[in-house]
Structure 1
Amino acid sequence: MSSHTLSRREWVAASAGALALLVSRRADASAKVAITIYKSPTCGCCAKWVDHVRAAGFATTVHDVADVDAIKRREGVPTALQSCHTALVEGYVVEGHVPAADVLRLLREKPRGVRGVAVPGMPSGSPGMEMGGRADRFDVVAFGRDGRTSVFARH
């Protein structure tokens, strides 16, 4: 068995590398994206969607409100795109059972003219709606302040 003592240069390099790794891990842990969710206090599928975004690493603040529709109106969610809960994240609106991966994509890409994304209604198989083993196809729809809509993702 051979022993090797580190030179001062090797020790400094190893220490700097370890420190950089520690700092980057702490930065990752504190870099959770904050999302604020407005939902009915009695909605079970909304609570499951909250669990879904938490599991994806979002830092959630949840407000149980009596009138979620008032939030939707205030945030400009088109009536045809409305669902059971509304969330706000980094200046965007997230309406309904949008997969967390699509929210992260929205935040990464920051598409021009997009106010938010929505999964209209409550399609079976969307996050929070996994009941019964049925999974319907559904679209995530991007919407702008000008009323324009486009398909952001297909599932």
Structure 2
Amino acid sequence: MSNRAENLVVQDEEDTQKGKYLTFTLGEEQYGLEIKYVIEIIGIQEITVVPELPEYIKGIINLRGQIIPVMDVRLRFGKPFKEYNDRTCVIVVDIKGVSVGLIVDTVSEVYSIKDEDVVAPPDLTKGLSNRYIKGIGKGSSKVKLLIDCERLLNDQVNEELLNLSKGE
């Protein structure tokens, strides 16, 4: 395939993913993350705890021979821990070349939100609790908080997770 054809295929793929968000719940709130980050969705698995990591990094899982660090999104957002059950899911995402499992209460659906239906989050607390929210999708009866996947992992956490997934 020529470079031009490859670029068109990549562009076409990006266009079909534009405005699409995988929605999930944490408690009563609905969140969305851009579908372009999502690799797959799996049920909760046995997690191997790794010492000396932040509380919200629950450990690692073995996914078909690949070591994937897992993060409890509830804890990352400062919410109380909730016992995992058969509805708990792990959304495996790729953020800056690092595969990470995001533990969420339930996965809902893939939802299309037009750019004009996304508004900036209100600055209620000087940016602290909104630092992971990149926008609010207001296309349906219930608003969805849209997550900035790249902010979910700051550079320090990203480095730790990259070392974990490489087994260092």
TM-score where L is the length of structure 1: 0.31
- Whichever structure has more strand as a proportion of its residues is 2
Larger Rg: 1
Indicate the structure whose relative CO is greater, using CA pairs within 8 Å and at least 6 residues apart.
2
TM-score where L is the length of structure 2: 0.29
